[in-house]
Amino acid sequence: MFLVQLDVTVVNVALPTIGRELGAGVGTLQGIVDGYAVVLAALLLAGGALGDVLGHRRIVATGFATFGLASAACALAPSGLALVAFRAVQGLGAALLLPGTLAVITNAYPGRRERARALGVWAGVSALALAAGPVLGGALVAAGGWRILFWLNVPLVALAILASLALIEDDHRAPRRVDFAGAASAAVTLAALVFAVIEGSGVSVAAAAVAAVVFVVVERRAPEPMLPGALLRSRQFAGANLVAGAMNFVGLGMILVLTLYLQGVLRYGPFDAAVRLLPGFVPLSLLAPVSGRLVGRFGPRPLMIAGLAVGAVALLNLLRVTTGTGYLTVLPSWLGLGIGMGLLTAAVVSAAVGGVPPDRAGLASGVNNTARQAFGALGVAVFGHYGTFAAGLHTAGILGAAVWGAAIGITACTVR
């Protein structure tokens, strides 16, 4: 989980160096980031569904191997276009890994309390990767160049494969058909949707709409559909995934807003800005395991409502920002948002997984992570306009508070 999340952010700080050394233009540099993100988001559903059919131990090991080999290829990439292609293969490995991590935890801890505690640790590791990405990336690039970012994955992946095979029980499933047509149409739909969000392309929106219609038709005709209708009719599953999307829409959007504000308005350098974002990431990492224990005791709904409320109130503090204020004015908002997400993350994942049968844990994880990836990309696209001036932070704060306020209502109506 740490490796998958780390590679979402760690490359960003290395892009100027990669561009200079490989002679890559802006479009190629965007492809290095988006190639990974689009493939990851597009194949999450398929990765989760394959694990449910073939066994998550097998799929996780395959995902690790793919991710490790692609990382080595990225480190050896001779050109920008080659790096884009190898990053896409990295995204494939990550799409196999990410749903499997959550499904393995669900299978290993069937009890509600134990599962919630384990999901808290899982969420804390995820948050730690987001915090470590910019700081670790900046330090490694300064010390050894951009290629070391990818070489670092190789020994870690080798150890992870050995540990997975030794520690994860073989969970090979009873024979069930793999819905390849559903997986393919879902992948095209999600890829077009995420690409449309990133690029703002009307052609991609139209392609996503057409692919979505094809996906619905394919799933209705499939004898064993990848995404059963009963799953979507679960109020808790649907509600939890909407809240997960709202969480990343605001959370990832505000990370971009604050990064732009710190660098563009307050004139901090990239590394100094990353360090000043740590106060929000620290409570997110530390509170996630604690909230997992609380979810095990009280259920997900109280923690979800508390986290959303804390974050919404903190975002309204951005209305205090003026052209003459500095870092200490925005710090309470970022700190409160980190606390809110720390309370929320484990709870929303627990609610989503708890709303489906155990043998669909992989697919449930795929849907949940897809919602977070897609809405996170949308949040980055929407909030990216508001970080370059003080009044923009007012708009971002009101918008974020309104979205999380609506998420409180969804939680109250759908989550047990």
- More reliable by pLDDT, 84 or 33: 84
Does residue 110 carry a pLDDT above 90?
no
Give me the chain's average pLDDT, please. 86
Distances (CA, A) of 190 to 165, 243, 332, 362, 377: 31, 19, 35, 17, 12
- When mean pLDDT is compared across 228-242, 263-277, 390-404, the lowest value belongs to 263-277
Which of residues 168 and 387 earns the better pLDDT score? 168
Between 408 and 35, the higher pLDDT residue = 408
**pTM (2 d.p.):** 0.82
Q: What is the pLDDT of residues 40-72, one digit of tens each?
A: 888 888 888 888 888 888 899 999 999 999 999
**Which residue in the block uniquely carries the two structure tokens 């892009």?**
15
Between 274 and 342, name the one with better pLDDT.
342
Q: What pLDDT digit, counting tens, does each position of 186-240 carry?
A: 888 888 877 777 666 677 788 888 988 998 898 888 887 877 777 778 899 999 9
Q: What is the pLDDT of residue 172?
A: 61
Most confidently modeled range among 127-136, 174-183, 394-403: 394-403
Question: What pLDDT is attached to residue 344?
Answer: 93
pLDDT of residue 50: 86
Q: How many other CB atoms are found less than 10 A from the CB of residue 217?
A: 12
Between CA 124 and CA 227 the distance in angstroms is 28
pLDDT digit string, tens, across residues 336-373: 999 999 999 889 988 988 878 877 878 888 888 888 88
**SS3 labels along 247-273:** HHHHHHHHHHHHHHHHHHHCCCCHHHH
What are the sequence ranges of the domains in the chain? Answer: 2-179+224-414
Q: Report the top-level CATH class of 2-179+224-414.
A: mainly alpha
